Copies of this chain bind each other. A is one copy, B any other.
């Protein structure tokens, strides 16, 4: 261990009004007083594992090697779903085995997955409804103190993976993608990557035909929101590296009446 204090991040669907997040932090600081705790988000929609996964996936990339991520979107708490720890090449993930951790952990290269079972590293009394406090935070704090994840319980060979639609390029002529996230500004994050747009021959400055929310729009692929007038829609590669449909100074989700899971179809516009 070097002199850097260990970082533990927290993500949940608990909100910030209730005492739940504070109880998790209290458990962590009791066990590991030098831990630096960083909230990723507690505004995940109740039980929305997919939204939690997207936020976790985005944010964890920027944390330093060795960070411990605790994530709790856990509709199956108290049932047979297992509490797990995933050790990757960069970080450690602690949470329920319901698909929440698989995507960000997988991206980093998974080394081992363990079920959390050793009573030494969880609270003495485990409630049926709040494993975020009684199991996950407690285990994470022990890991921050140097306990190897392999001590927490038996290694698992399998765990739950989430299912996402993948954008498809049809006949090299159009992409059928999906809205996977809507941020607080109303920006529509799709699952379309730069390389897919390149396959269609759409480059920065080009216009594309976009079918979304029952409408057909002609949108330019811009480098900045301010490249179109205030109130106008545009395409832009957002800070997650994925294609977004946005409105400069406006709210695309509201204006286009679109929600997470909706389809977006993209086609190049050929000069006639």
Contacts and interface: CB of A to CB of B under 8 A. Distances in A.
Given A38-B22, A78-B223, A78-B224, A184 B238 contact: no
A77 B18 contact: no
Given A59-B23, A184-B14, A78 B226 contact: yes
A46 B254 CA distance: 14
A206 to B, nearest CB: 16
B22 A129 contact: no
B23 A79 contact: no
B18 A238 contact: no
Interface string A69-107: 000000111110000000000000000000000000000
A36 B5 CA distance: 12
B23 A225 contact: no
A4 interface: yes
B225 A55 contact: no
Contacts of A62: 22-23, 26-27, 30, 133
Contacts of A224: 77-79, 128-129
A112 interface: no
